Amino acid sequence: MRCLVFILVILLPVWLAQPLAAQSPETPCLECHGPEGLAKNPQAPILAGQREHYLKLQLQAFRNGNAAGRANFSARRHPVMAERAHNYTDEEIVQLARAFSRQVCRSAREFDPRIPRDVPRPQIAQTCFTCHGVDGRSRRSTMPNLAGQRPAYLARQLFAFRDAKPADKTAPIYRHHRMMSRKGNHLSPEQIKQLALYFGHKTCW
């Protein structure tokens, strides 16, 4: 028994650090999000180490057009993600969310030298702390970690929340969240840039 425990203690961290391809070689996510959950495209999110329940909700939203049972609260569409996710079963969504959440997180600034190491905290960032944490590391399972995420992706999502209109609900690319869209409605482009860079320059751990 002691030998088995020793083996698990030694090998489990190694397994979690393995590229996702080694665990599920057929997954269609790797093309855009990378075998380690680290997207090469700055417009795509880093999935490694993200909150498991949050990832599950996003995959459900892409599959259904909204987070399960929350049609009036949250809606999200993207043509590529919708095509990928529309045939996923609930179990497959859970498996994917768990696999990416267990990957070792890496901060965007580790592999993007354009991200500065020292970014002053914009005053408006305080409005984000309740849900996303002071350092961008959320304590709520339904809220994403922002720390270390790609700034370009964060900015794109903030613009999407801000500019979401009811008339756009059938648009191929659409993201609405009752709280985020309301808060983002008053953000200027400069404020969005500041927020994206501030949280993006943080470390994810």
Task: Going residue by residue through the chain, which has 205 residues, state the pLDDT in tens, using 9 for 90 and above.
Answer: 444 333 333 333 443 445 554 445 346 888 888 888 888 788 999 999 999 999 999 999 999 876 544 545 788 999 999 998 988 999 999 999 999 999 999 999 998 999 999 999 999 999 999 999 999 999 999 999 999 999 999 999 999 999 998 778 778 889 999 899 999 999 999 999 999 999 999 999 8
**How many domains, the chain?**
1
Q: Is residue 10 part of a domain?
A: no
pLDDT at position 131? 95
CATH of the domain at 117: 1.10.760.10
Q: Is residue 16 part of a domain?
A: no
Q: CA 22, CA 30: separation in Å to the nearest integer?
A: 11
Q: Is residue 139 part of a domain?
A: yes
pLDDT at position 41? 86
Return the number of other C-beta atoms located less than 10 Å from residue 94's C-beta: 16
Retrieve residue 85's tokens: 């996710």
Q: Is residue 187 part of a domain?
A: yes
pLDDT at position 169? 76
Domain carrying residue 179 = 40-201
Any bridge partners for residue 66, and if so which?
75
**77 phi and psi angles, rounded to 5 deg:** -140, 145
pLDDT at position 38? 86
What is the model's pTM? 0.84
Closest CA to 98 of 110, 90, 109, 108: 90
Q: Is residue 45 part of a domain?
A: yes
Q: Is residue 90 part of a domain?
A: yes
Q: Is residue 28 part of a domain?
A: no
Q: Is residue 26 part of a domain?
A: no
- Measured over the CA atoms of residue 191, residue 194, residue 200 and residue 205, the dihedral's sign is negative
pLDDT at position 205? 86
